[in-house]
């Protein structure tokens, strides 16, 4: 389904700090031109220096706020004295200036004087109520005004909280919601005009509760983080690690603003504590990763290696960070309740944190949000919780939770009581999930138009076929969806077998195939661990067989009588990239990271990756004539194991064709892919085999010259030379390559396979594979 026509063609962002710059960058990522305005510096000739400096900073920031270099060119810097007239061009103006009502209102007056009628204004405030922001401003302004609260960094954090005031016209809210959903890819959550909105209200409370209980129960920083991390379904950094990440110095500001605005009797006031140690850490510059360190720091060990140290919460001294072994953490695999019931200190800690946080959240609906779904979504998207607070209560059992609260003499919030009576906050009725409304009745969760989630499809049906590595699902309208579900979605023989099975099944009974999954990463390539072990015991035939099986399968996918559309999100590396390259089309989530990274582990792509990339470059419009240009392009990308850091960058590297699509909102990816597949089914014919005229040995010589230069500069390691030599043979068509006689596709497959097998027998490659598996980083040997 096509996205609705956007009503926002140009955006103004006022304030170019970390958030303002990030928002401007992300709007540009969507292809929308942005005016970024900031103040005129007191001194200096360049009156745009602040905004210009912000753009320069954005270009250097890691992780990158821009999805590709071209996006930065869409951001026009200016200042709020000379360039206010530019706001007349903008359909949406976002205010991201200091959290100071007077300053903000000054800015609003300026905006209002220059904006075009009907344009929408929003504030990125996280602390000032909307009612105050518009106080005293014309009604015509208030009508077009709302709060859009982004999370940092705006490109990567999916949550966007929207708050509309009583005067805000519904149409404005709808336009912004659609824009942020479709163009910016955000998960938009409607909030009420209450302090901290949803995510920070609960998140700040959660952090405070977790700190307090760690200290009160005598847990070390490492122990607390080991419990309040993965075992609780929240980010693995844990609380102290999270504070190091966001900066300790941020917390006093958040607390201060919350305390200034929270209602009397709010439980946060009760649990709020100033920690002398934390104040000292901030004063001494121990503000976290951006400072000298925080609760953790990296110190130099005696042998010069880097040692992770953790702070002692009692003494403030650092020690070598321990790896706590808590039975409760082990037991947590069996579920959240097992963790919360465990008698050791980890279990006690988990319970105390859950009790306070979930109880607090349950008491806030409907004050901060109309429904529990908004709260759960906000915590999932804004704080990267695996489950929201109400979903966690369901994991524990609403009755169990309420009973335990009561047993400890704590108030049972009315909404929780309702859930106890009803039997939980969520229930599944056939294919639909229903949530418990504040009215005590269940209501179906309705996805927005154009949202299709594989998890919804799976809930409603059995797979068409499947094994332990992958499953094939029916998306309706004759489209099937192949889902990988191995660890990291790595390819093994089972997964490859299922790709083959999917081809057979779709050929017989369906019109098109979509390849998609909802994991963090589409696929990280072949299962290196299996390959390494086989290689270590010299079991070459099964390795070669897997290479061969993959080539045959991907070739069959490419020439199948039906169209296939891959819909990746996250990493699509190695084999995960090669499967994409063999599909009829790719519909990529904007946050897709594609690369043929095999050289990093001392191999060359074995499943047609080099061949497909060569083909893409050879058929790219506007490529210079002659056999070398596409060879050079493909060689460089594969030899350097380049990974596109976004779908856009992946397109620049040639992995995405000009005709392949990009979807900003992950929830819309599958629907877009399905639509693309259906479009292709009209008069579909399998592609013609490529005609590749490759230079052969003369190309190898040209590449060697180039590599020699790099070797002299010390950029090519000893084993790089071996790997590069093998890749050069493949990419030039081998000894028989000839720029008059085309090299066949099968010949290229054979060259890839032979090079792969030669490399996998070398010590250097095996060292690289092992290093990657044990450290996650490439070895430069």
For position 534 contacting another protein by CB under 8 A, the verdict is: yes
Interface segment toward another protein; rule CB under 8 A; list 65-73, 320-328, 536-544, 690-698: 536-544
Task: Report d(CA 16, CA 52) in Å as an integer.
Answer: 9
616 vs 719, which CB is nearer to another protein? 719
For position 184 contacting another protein by CB under 8 A, the verdict is: no
For position 533 contacting another protein by CB under 8 A, the verdict is: yes
Task: Report d(CA 466, CA 487) in Å as an integer.
Answer: 16
For position 537 contacting another protein by CB under 8 A, the verdict is: yes
Binding test (CB under 8 A) with another protein, winner from 427, 500, 770, 778: 770
Phi, psi (rounded to 5 degrees) for 571: -80, 135
Binding mask 716-755 for another protein (x = CB under 8 A): ----------------------------------------
Closest CA to 114 of 136, 137, 93: 93
138 vs 322, which CB is nearer to another protein? 322
For position 773 contacting another protein by CB under 8 A, the verdict is: yes
Give least dist CB 774 to another protein, A: 7
532 vs 604, which CB is nearer to another protein? 532
Which pair of structure tokens corresponds to residue 197? 């909105």
Query: Reduced to 3 states, what is the DSSP secondary structure of residue 626?
Result: coil
Which pair of structure tokens corresponds to residue 575? 């084999």
- How many other C-beta atoms are found inside a 10 Å radius of the C-beta of residue 263? 10
- Using CB under 8 A as the binding rule, the residues of this chain from 139 to 168 that contact another protein are none
Give least dist CB 420 to another protein, A: 41
Binding test (CB under 8 A) with another protein, winner from 41, 291, 423, 529: 529
For position 320 contacting another protein by CB under 8 A, the verdict is: no
Contact 386, 233 (CB under 8 A): yes
Binding test (CB under 8 A) with another protein, winner from 109, 462, 774, 780: 774
Which pair of structure tokens corresponds to residue 642? 């380049």
Give least dist CB 536 to another protein, A: 4
Give least dist CB 549 to another protein, A: 17
Binding test (CB under 8 A) with another protein, winner from 46, 428, 509, 536: 536
Residues 6+ apart with CB under 8 A from 310: 220, 221, 222, 295, 296, 318, 319, 320, 321, 322
Give least dist CB 490 to another protein, A: 14
Binding test (CB under 8 A) with another protein, winner from 538, 705, 712, 740: 538
354 vs 766, which CB is nearer to another protein? 766
Residues belonging to the chain: 781
527 vs 587, which CB is nearer to another protein? 527
Give least dist CB 540 to another protein, A: 8
Give least dist CB 528 to another protein, A: 9
Interface segment toward another protein; rule CB under 8 A; list 285-293, 364-372, 537-545, 731-739: 537-545
Closest CA to 347 of 202, 542, 213, 486: 213
Residue for token pair 């594979």: 769
Closest CA to 122 of 158, 172, 159: 172
For position 539 contacting another protein by CB under 8 A, the verdict is: yes
For position 327 contacting another protein by CB under 8 A, the verdict is: no
Give least dist CB 307 to another protein, A: 17
CA distances from 288 to 17, 250, 257, 311 (A): 20, 10, 21, 12
Interface segment toward another protein; rule CB under 8 A; list 11-19, 257-265, 291-299, 533-541: 533-541
Give least dist CB 779 to another protein, A: 13
Binding test (CB under 8 A) with another protein, winner from 51, 321, 350, 535: 535
**Helix/strand/coil (H, E, C) string of 133-184?**
HCCCCCHHHHHCEEEEEECCCCCCCCEEEEEECCCCCHHHHHHHHHHHHHHC
Helix axes 745-760, 763-775, angle to 10 degrees: 80
422 vs 534, which CB is nearer to another protein? 534
Query: Reduced to 3 states, what is the DSSP secondary structure of residue 79?
Result: strand
For position 759 contacting another protein by CB under 8 A, the verdict is: no
Interface segment toward another protein; rule CB under 8 A; list 319-327, 373-381, 446-454, 759-767: 759-767
Contact 752, 730 (CB under 8 A): yes
For position 532 contacting another protein by CB under 8 A, the verdict is: yes
Closest CA to 78 of 120, 115, 49, 112: 49
Contact 189, 150 (CB under 8 A): no
Asked if residue 63 has a cis previous peptide bond (ω within 30° of 0), the answer is: yes
Task: Report d(CA 721, CA 738) in Å as an integer.
Answer: 24
- Number of amino acids touching another protein (CB under 8 A): 17
Judged on CB neighbours under 10 Å (0-12, 13-18, 19+), 184 is buried
Interface segment toward another protein; rule CB under 8 A; list 426-434, 445-453, 458-466, 766-774: 766-774
Interface segment toward another protein; rule CB under 8 A; list 44-52, 525-533, 653-661, 723-731: 525-533
Give least dist CB 776 to another protein, A: 13
For position 763 contacting another protein by CB under 8 A, the verdict is: yes
Task: Report d(CA 442, CA 438) in Å as an integer.
Answer: 9
Give least dist CB 219 to another protein, A: 19
Residues that bind another protein (CB under 8 A): 529, 532-540, 761, 763, 766, 769-770, 773-774
């Amino acid at each position: 389904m096509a996205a609705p026509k956007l009503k926002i063609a140009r955006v103004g962002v006022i304030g170019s700090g970390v958030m303002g710059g990030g928002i401007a960058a992300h709007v540009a990522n969507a292809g929308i031109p942005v005016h970024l305005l900031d103040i005129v510096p007191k001194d200096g000739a360049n009156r745009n220096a602040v905004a210009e400096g912000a753009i320069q900073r954005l270009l250097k920031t890691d992780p990158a706020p821009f999805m590709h270099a071209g996006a930065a060119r869409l951001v026009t810097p200016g200042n709020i004295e000379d360039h206010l007239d530019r706001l007349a061009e903008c359909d949406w103006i976002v205010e991201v200036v200091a959290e100071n009502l007077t300053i903000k209102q000054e800015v609003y007056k300026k905006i209002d004087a220059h904006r075009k009628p009907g344009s929408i204004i929003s504030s990125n405030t996280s602390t000032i109520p909307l009612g105050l922001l518009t106080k005293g401003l014309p009604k015509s302004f208030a009508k077009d005004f709302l709060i859009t609260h982004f999370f940092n960094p705006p490109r990567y954090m999916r949550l966007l909280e929207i708050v509309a005031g009583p005067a805000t016209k519904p149409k404005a809210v709808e336009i912004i919601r659609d824009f942020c959903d479709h163009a910016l890819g955000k998960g938009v959550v409607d909030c009420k005009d209450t302090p901290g909105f949803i995510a920070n209200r609960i998140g700040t409370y959660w952090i405070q509760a977790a700190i307090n209980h760690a200290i009160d129960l005598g847990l070390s920083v490492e122990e607390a983080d080991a419990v309040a991390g993965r075992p609780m379904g929240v980010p693995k950094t844990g609380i102290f690690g999270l504070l190091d990440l966001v900066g300790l110095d941020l917390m006093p500001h958040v607390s201060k603003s919350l305390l200034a605005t929270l209602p009397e009797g709010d439980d946060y006031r009760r649990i709020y504590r100033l920690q002398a140690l934390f104040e000292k850490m901030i004063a001494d510059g121990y503000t976290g990763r951006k400072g000298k360190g925080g609760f953790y720091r990296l110190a130099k060990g005696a042998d010069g290696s880097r040692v992770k140290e953790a702070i002692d919460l009692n003494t403030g001294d650092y020690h070598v960070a321990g790896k706590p072994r808590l039975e409760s953490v082990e037991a947590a695999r069996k579920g959240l309740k097992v963790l919360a019931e465990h008698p050791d200190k980890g279990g006690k800690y988990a319970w105390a944190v859950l009790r306070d946080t979930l109880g607090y959240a349950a008491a806030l609906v409907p004050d901060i949000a109309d429904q529990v779904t908004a709260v759960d979504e906000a915590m999932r998207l804004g704080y990267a919780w695996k489950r929201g607070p109400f979903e966690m209560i369901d994991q524990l059992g609403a009755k169990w939770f309420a009973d335990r609260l009561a047993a400890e003499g704590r108030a049972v919030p009315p909404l929780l009581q309702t859930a106890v009576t009803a039997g939980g906050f969520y229930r599944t009725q056939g294919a639909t999930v229903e949530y418990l409304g504040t009215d005590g009745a269940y209501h179906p969760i309705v996805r927005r138009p154009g949202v299709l989630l594989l998890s919804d499809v799976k809930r409603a049906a059995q797979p068409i076929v499947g094994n332990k590595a992958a499953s094939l699902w029916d998306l309706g309208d004759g489209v099937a969806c192949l889902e990988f579900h191995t660890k990291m979605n790595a390819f093994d023989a089972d997964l490859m077998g299922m790709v083959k099975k999917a081809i057979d099944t779709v050929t017989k009974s369906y019109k098109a195939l979509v390849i998609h999954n909802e994991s963090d990463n589409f696929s990280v390539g072949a299962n290196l661990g299996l390959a390494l072990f086989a290689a270590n015991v010299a079991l070459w035939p099964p390795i070669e067989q897997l290479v061969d099986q993959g080539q045959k399968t991907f070739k069959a996918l490419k020439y199948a009588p039906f169209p296939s559309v891959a819909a990746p999100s996250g990493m699509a590396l190695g084999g995960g990239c090669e499967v994409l390259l063999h599909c009829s089309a790719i519909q990529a989530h904007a946050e897709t990271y594609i690369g043929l990274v095999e050289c990093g582990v001392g191999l060359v792509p074995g499943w047609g990756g080099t061949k497909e990339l060569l083909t893409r470059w050879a058929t790219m419009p506007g490529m210079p004539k002659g056999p070398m240009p596409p060879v050079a392009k493909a060689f460089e990308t594969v030899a350097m194991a380049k990974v596109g850091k976004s779908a856009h960058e992946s397109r620049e590297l040639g992995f995405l064709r000009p005709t392949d699509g990009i979807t900003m909102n992950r929830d819309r990816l599958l629907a877009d892919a399905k639509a693309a597949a259906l479009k292709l089914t009209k008069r579909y014919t399998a592609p013609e085999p490529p005609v590749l005229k490759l230079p052969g040995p003369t190309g190898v010589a040209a590449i060697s010259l180039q590599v020699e230069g790099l070797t002299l500069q010390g950029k090519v390691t000893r084993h790089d030379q071996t790997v590069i030599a093998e890749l050069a043979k493949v990419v030039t068509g081998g000894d028989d390559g000839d720029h008059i006689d085309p090299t066949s596709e099968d010949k290229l497959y054979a060259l890839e396979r032979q090079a792969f097998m030669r490399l996998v027998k070398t010590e250097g490659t095996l060292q690289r594979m092992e290093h990657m598996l044990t450290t996650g980083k490439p070895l430069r040997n």
